[in-house]
Amino acid sequence: MNQGFKYYLKIYLAIITQDIKSKMQYRMDFFISTLGMIATNLSGLISFWILFRSIPNIQGWDYHEMIFIYAFSLLAVTPVQLFFDNLWNINDKVLRGDFIVYCFRPLNIFFYYMSEVFDVKGLSQLIFGCLLLIYSWASLHIQITVVSILFLFVTLLGASLVMIGIMVLACSSAFWITNSTSVLVFMFKFKDYSKYPITIFNTVFRFIFSFLIPIGFIAFYPSEIFLRPKSTTILALASPVIGIAFFILAYFVWMYGARKYSGTGS
């Protein structure tokens, strides 16, 4: 197990090093795309600032609590943008038949395909999200303890796995339909709802965002542990486990589709 991990880590570092080198040959593209991501994240922050200049809270959630949830969602979404950006290319690869290449290498297909692209500009979102989280954490006077920091990392991991799972499931549709990009775009847009408390939606959407398209676990439920420690729900406490389970489900669906593709030669 340990040797296998070292083997895959060595390969992964070699792959992303080459990918980063190739991207750095077009530095202006990287610079512009990074500025675009920063501008997008800033626009979300500005919208909150404008909104809370008119109202003191949204159904009991104040400005700094909303910023905390927003920052948490940015950090939870970042791993998808950093490590899984190649999922946006699967539709073309499957349709052209290029995906078959991944089926003949002595590597896990999922690992080999996803590791091929590393989105460097996602690092700007990581930094932005960290700064926002630190600001809101300090403004809300949340205690900094070993337990709170441990919970932060565990809940962020679970939240990231939920987002990864959502996108991997959407990506898997490429093995069965001819236009999976529209599915990816549709599912990716749901992340915009993750920066809001689930409680502001009606009962139907709360159910959808909790159990069907679980974006509530990207930020709201794990944030409850820090923002509402005295009224933390079982869903909040279970969010890391749900993240792991959802990712495993998405992984097996993707692998089933990939094996079906290689088996049929479609």
Per-residue DSSP letters for 48-101? HHHHHHH-SEETTEEHHHHHHHHHHHHHHHHHHHHH-GGGGGHHHHHHHTGGGG
pLDDT at residue 11 is higher than 90? no
With b for 16 or more beta-carbon neighbours within 10 A and e for fewer, the 218-254 pattern comes to: bbbbbbbbbbeeeeeeebbeebbebbeebbeebbebb
Lowest-confidence region among 8-12, 23-27, 68-72: 23-27
4: number of Cβ within 10 Å: 9
What is the reported pTM?
A: 0.88
| pLDDT for residue 176 | 92
| pLDDT for residue 2 | 45
- Give yes or no for a contact between 112 and 93, defined as CB atoms under 8 angstroms apart: no
| pLDDT for residue 265 | 47
Give the span between the Cα atoms of 119 and 251, in whole angstroms. 21
| pLDDT for residue 27 | 67
Mean pLDDT of 32-59: 80
Give the chain's largest Cα–Cα span. 59
21 or 262, greater pLDDT? 21
Cite the DSSP H helix spans in 115-198: 122-139, 146-172, 180-189
Please calculate the CA angle 156-158-161 and round it to the nearest 5 degrees.
Answer: 105
Mean pLDDT of 90-96: 91
| pLDDT for residue 132 | 94
| pLDDT for residue 1 | 42
Given pLDDT bands bounded at 50, 70 and 90, which one contains residue 255? Answer: very high
Q: What is the pLDDT of residues 94-113, one digit of tens each?
A: 988 889 888 887 889 999 99
Given pLDDT bands bounded at 50, 70 and 90, which one contains residue 173? Answer: very high
Q: What is the pLDDT of residues 17-28, one digit of tens each?
A: 887 777 667 667
Percentage of the chain beyond pLDDT 90 is: 56
| pLDDT for residue 30 | 66
pLDDT at residue 266 is higher than 60? no
Q: What is the pLDDT of residues 112-132, one digit of tens each?
A: 999 988 888 888 899 999 999
Q: What is the pLDDT of residues 176-204, one digit of tens each?
A: 998 889 999 999 999 889 999 998 999 99
Given pLDDT bands bounded at 50, 70 and 90, which one contains residue 3? Answer: low
Give the span between the Cα atoms of 4 and 70, in whole angstroms. 37
| pLDDT for residue 26 | 66
Domains of the chain, by residue range, sit at 2-264
Q: What is the pLDDT of residues 203-234, one digit of tens each?
A: 999 999 999 999 999 999 999 999 998 888 89
Q: What is the pLDDT of residues 129-168, one digit of tens each?
A: 999 999 999 999 999 999 999 999 999 999 999 999 999 9
What are the percentages of helix, strand and coil residues in the chain, rounded to 5?
Answer: 80, 0, 15
Instruction: Find tokens 């300090």 and name the residue.
Output: 138
